[in-house]
Amino acid sequence: MTILLFCESTDVRSLWNQFHTFILEDYTSTNTSVNENLIPMLLRDLNDFLIQHGKAIKDFDLPPLSYYALETTSVPRIIQEELLIQIPHEDVEKLNDIIIDLFPGEERNLLSFDEVEGDTYHLYQHEYLHTISLGGLPPHNLKVKKGSPLMLLRNIDPKSGLCSGTRLLCRGSYMNMLDVEILTGHHAGNRAFLPRIKHKTTDGAGLPFVLIRKQFPVRLSLQLL
C-alpha cells in the first residue's frame, strides 16, 4: 500500500501477482468466507484504504473491483485491523529502511546529538547512545526524502494541528529545520517548520540513566501505511 500511495511503480500488476497471496493468508485465518470470496474482499478493503488518501483501485493496473458475495456484515476489515498490530520496534526500523529506498530523490541522514543527564565524567560513549532506539523517541539517524510520510512524536502546537501522532509529509530538510505538510485533521494541507528539540527518556524506558536526544520530533511512518 505504501508503494501505491507514495511511489510511482511501473509494474503494479506484477507486484500484485507476487504479493497478494501472502495477504490472502491473513484473510484465510480470520474469515469464514469461502476462498473464492477472499480476493474481492481484499480488493474492496484496499480500495477503501486508497480512497482515504484520494486514490482508488481504478487508478492502477489491478484486477477490477467486484462486490460478489460481500453481503455479510461480519467480515473483518483485515487491513484496518493490521494497522493496530504491535510490531517489534526493531522490525519497524528495518521495514522503514527498506521502504524509504523505494522513494525517488536524494536521501538525507539527519543525526541526533545524544548525551546522558548528569554524566559529567562521560561514562557512556556516544557510539552506544546512538544505538538506543525506543518507540517514543526519534531515531539517532533520521532518514528522510522529500515526499516521505512522517509521524509527529510531541505536542508542538496543538492549536495549529501539530499534536503527537499527527501524520506529516516531508517537503524539505535542512540542518536544523524540517519543512513539513500536515496530512490529517482540520489543518491538513498547512505547512510548518519543525526545529530540533531535546527528548528525555522516562523511568519506563528501562535504562539505568536518562538519555537526552536532540533531534527532530518525528519518525518515519511508512510501516503504518
Q: Please tell me the predicted confidence (pLDDT) of residue 76.
A: 45
Sheet holding 218-220, edge to edge: 191-195, 177-182, 167-173, 149-152, 218-220
What φ, ψ does residue 72 adopt, rounded to 5°? -80, 145
Residues 32-36, mean pLDDT to the nearest whole number: 49
Instruction: Kindly state the DSSP code that residue 103 receives in the 8-state scheme.
Output: S
The CA distance from 99 to 62, in Å, is: 21
**What's the chain's average pLDDT?**
79
The CA distance from 29 to 82, in Å, is: 13
At 204, list the grid cell: 519506563
The CA distance from 79 to 63, in Å, is: 18
State pLDDT tens for residues 19-33: 777 766 665 555 544
Task: Please name the residues in contact with 36: beta carbons below 8 A apart, sequence gap of 6 or more.
Answer: 69
Residues 136-142, mean pLDDT to the nearest whole number: 92
Residue for grid cell 488518501: 53
